[in-house]
Amino acid sequence: MQPELLYLDCTAPAPHRMAYWQWGDPQASHTVVCVHGLSRQGRDFDVLAQALVERSKTPLRVVCPDVVGRGKSDFLADPQGYQLPTYVADMLQLLAQFKPATLDWVGTSMGGLIGMLLCAYAPSVGASVRRLVLNDVGPVIEWRALQRIGQYLGKSGQFATVQQAADAMWAISSSFGPHTPAQWLALSQPMLKPVPSPQGGTAFALHYDPAIALPFGSTTEQQAKEGEALLWQAYEAITAQTLLLRGAQSDLLSIATAQQMTQRGPKAQLVEFAGVGHAPTLIAPDQVDAVANFVLAA
């Protein structure tokens, strides 16, 4: 099973194309949208998407966008557009095109924040999120995790081979938890694009626009704190049935925040994965089962 690569013309803040990977039945009334983290791309969900399509008892479409500035999507001329309002607007255009009768959302880290905000606006384009999976993210994002991410975001350089790039990514991504070499290589390959080598021939660079680091790096601790109130407001307005996944060693989603999320708003069901930090990749069987059992439940 392989996905179909499609494109959507988006309008704000300037015209651009957003790529998305489509699995399953394009005519299905039930759509699951899976959105990746800050520096990732839609092929992160290959294992999960195939499992959902194979296990569903009814026709199912799984859509995995490359958020603008990543993967096969366009890069923005103005890097200040690399922020949540742009991402939410793009996803609303995507939903307006599909108008799914049943819509579920799986969001890892940044993709979860997009999902939290989108829940309020989806009805305006004829869709409502029925079930929401937040993968290792909540209204409170720990400042030390943002500082850790800022140390490597946009600073990748070039790599002579795919394996060299995979090794470099593992050095900053070991918090994803245990993966076999084959699993990590499969996760790493879509993260790369071929580029001309200064020495001649072909080298590899990461798939995303390094400029996504600019608005991220300009965020202050005070601004992050001020954003928490808005995110809590968005979370408490969610009516979708919500599953919260957390790496037990996560430095981005604290256990205190996760526990609050089980008591406030949609009162999320919390599932933790031992030996994993930020963020579960949804490849391990127990992680796939947690999402599939929730999304595909009658």
All structural domains of the chain: 4-152+211-295 (3.40.50.1820), 155-207 (no CATH)
Strands (E) across the chain are located at: 4-10, 16-24, 30-35, 61-65, 102-108, 129-135, 158-159, 192-196, 202-206, 241-247, 269-273
Residue 254 has pLDDT above 90, yes or no: yes
> Once rounded to an integer, what is the mean pLDDT over residues 15-38?
97
Instruction: Name the H helices within 69-157.
Output: 84-98, 110-121, 143-150
pLDDT of residue 181: 95
What is the per-residue DSSP string for 29-73? SEEEEEE--TT--GGGGHHHHHHHHHH-SS--EEEEE--TTSTTS
In DSSP terms, which residues pair with 10 in a beta bridge? 16
Under the banding of pLDDT at 50, 70 and 90, the label for residue 297 is very high
Instruction: Please report, rounded to a whole number, the percentage of residues in the chain having pLDDT higher than 70.
Output: 100
Closest CA to 35 of 89, 107, 85, 91: 107
What b/e readout covers 274-292, taking b as 16+ CB neighbours within 10 angstroms?
Answer: eebbbbbbbbbeebbebbb
* Mean pLDDT across the chain: 96
Q: How many CB atoms lie within 10 A of CB 172?
A: 16
